Homo-oligomer: A and B are copies of this chain.
């Protein structure tokens, strides 16, 4: 079948050239006579793969040498536990609850210490990034082990436009759905982490970037922290305390290279901005479609919107599918519609969706106005 326009929230579209390269590596990796899937993680050939993935990521994001890069398993979700187990040394952390995954992270942290909600937008259905004044004041007090945010909220289509000023409190950020969509100032963070299955690769790899001093003494809760989640151990072992997701890391490395070869993260951010602008403009000019996120909090990665009612939303999903557009049903928690426009989603795909929206609106004109 012809390649569809894939707006899935993750696992999501991957660059076609990366998929083609992976195809070749699936039977014979670089003349080794075996598949990249069959190679010992201790082999020289594989060591070169994981080292290149890390080196490329370091170049892309300009990661200082004082930060460690880990390639782990278990998704961002497992790090919801790993973060407090490693970092909650004084037993107190602050959470900004801006969506479902931030809430889950907060609930997980409550098992291991005093996890305070410093700001929340739950009351307005997570339609915005909450105000951060109180958060910043609390961070400045200096008694928190870390301040936690989810930088882009995949389900609700909101995104931090600026990072909170944390003074000396380490900022911990789940960047899963905005990772590598543009440059990041790594030194603003104590720890940032991302499930790869949005912009960085396939499902099954979690990238953790952590300031070394935060993990140098081992986990805060060494008494109960599973060794797999011990970030010092994983850093010392080069993410190979046990067998890593070898193929997943291979593929992430290829995606990192692709970003580099397509002019890096500044160019990527410009393309992503243009894609988001087109969709939001289409929504704002429409008499049928409306955005669901507060305008000031709109995400550049996940565009959430809806029509007049659930039935029409569903009709639009079918209409789009008939035109080769997939993955635009909203998350079951939010309803409505969502287009995830990650790096590998081309402007062509976004234009096709925008045209499809206008066409659908015209076809429904009389009823919806």
Contacts and interface: CB of A to CB of B under 8 A. Distances in A.
B228 A78 contact: yes
Contact of A228 (B9, B43, B75, B248): B75
* Copies of this protein chain in the complex: 2
Contact of A247 (B32, B33, B203, B244): B203
A251 B75 contact: no
B204 A77 contact: no
Contacts of A31: 1
A12 to B, nearest CB: 6
Contacts of A247: 202-204, 247-248
A111 B223 CA distance: 6
Contacts of A40: 8-11, 327
A228 B81 contact: yes
Contacts of A360: none
A26 to B, nearest CB: 5
A37 interface: yes
A3 interface: yes
Interface SS majority for chain A: loop
Contacts of A85: 226
A244 B78 contact: no
A5 to B, nearest CB: 9
B26 A245 contact: no
Contacts of A246: 11, 197, 202-204
A34 B77 contact: no
Residue of A34, A81, A251 ringed by the most chain B CB atoms within 10 A: A34
Interface in A1-57: 1-4, 6, 8-14, 16, 19-20, 22-23, 26-28, 31-35, 37-41, 43
Given A14-B35, A39-B8, A112 B243 contact: no
Contact of A243 (B6, B81, B195): B195
A37 B11 contact: yes
A27 to B, nearest CB: 6
B4 A243 contact: no
Given A11-B40, A203-B247, 10 more contacts: A1-B32, A16-B27, A37-B202, A78-B242, A80-B226, A108-B227, A202-B245, A203-B246, A204-B204, A247-B247
